[in-house]
Amino acid sequence: MLLIPAIDLKDGQCVRLKQGDLKDATVFSDRPGEMAAHWKAQGARRLHVVDLNGAVAGRVKNEPAIKAIIKSAGNEMPVQIGGGIRDLDTIERMLDDGASFVVIGTAAVKNPGLLQDACVAFPGHIIVSIDAKDGKVATDGWSKLSGHEVIDLAMKFEDYGVESILYTDIGRDGMLTGVNLEATLKLAQSVSVPIIASGGIASMKDINALCKIEDEGVTAAILGRALYEGHIEFKKAQKRADELAAKS
């Protein structure tokens, strides 16, 4: 189980939100590059970066901070970037900037052809993000609920050739209420591409539970507020996840 620290960017600062509400942001650092270096020193093997302003605006808004993070991460710690990435030119620019993966969310739902084209143009580099509440997919920085069912959309995206699916229960994100294990497992059992779990992971109990379903295809988990507020110590958590994987 790969544990991935999240860095959410708002106005050039590292923040955490509750249920995606930009008005409810807690600032953890105004030096994104240093935050990336911190997680690298803790042994992180990948970083998840979200441009929150970009997700709402529909275009990347925190590129200087993103570049600082990628520079600090270096070649040893791949970075996946999401938020406001809505066209092939932006995907190419993010990859040229040094990102290893680009996360497409809203654009994949509203313009499936873009996702399909991206998977063809940049094979192995495209992660699709499915953000959901009560089984329905959300878009536009989680501000709108679509009529799409999570599993139906996931199966379509799998056919396009996405590298993995990042699944977030937005009702739990930033709330430290525990991961939606049932929905995550159901999704993993419905497709063959790897699932990255996100939203509500609060303690080692959640990580232990996710490790138990790793064989079902849940291969990674995004950690946010629980790390920044000290509920989970990253180095110990990754070591524990590795030990559980070795036993299985």
What are the residues facing 16 on neighbouring strands? 26
What does the DSSP assignment read for 9-42? EETTEEEEESTT-TTSEEEEES-HHHHHHHHHHT
Among the listed residues 43, 45, 44, 52, the one whose alpha carbon sits nearest the alpha carbon of residue 13: 52
Catalytic residue among 87, 96, 131, 173: 131
8 is catalytic: yes
Q: Tokens representing 200?
A: 């509500």
Alpha carbon distance 185, 75 (integer Å): 32
96 is catalytic: no
Residue 5's contacts (CB-CB under 8 Å, 6 or more residues apart) are 39, 42, 44, 47, 48, 223, 224, 227, 234
> Considering Cα of 29, then 69, then 200, then 85, what sign does the dihedral take?
positive
Q: Which amino acid type is present at position 197? A: A
What does the DSSP assignment read for 183-195? HHHHHHHH-SS-E
| Class of residue 152 by CB neighbours under 10 A (exposed 0-12, middle 13-18, buried 19+) | exposed
Catalytic residue among 8, 51, 169, 173: 8
- For the chain, what's the residue count? 248
Q: Which residues are catalytic?
A: 8, 131
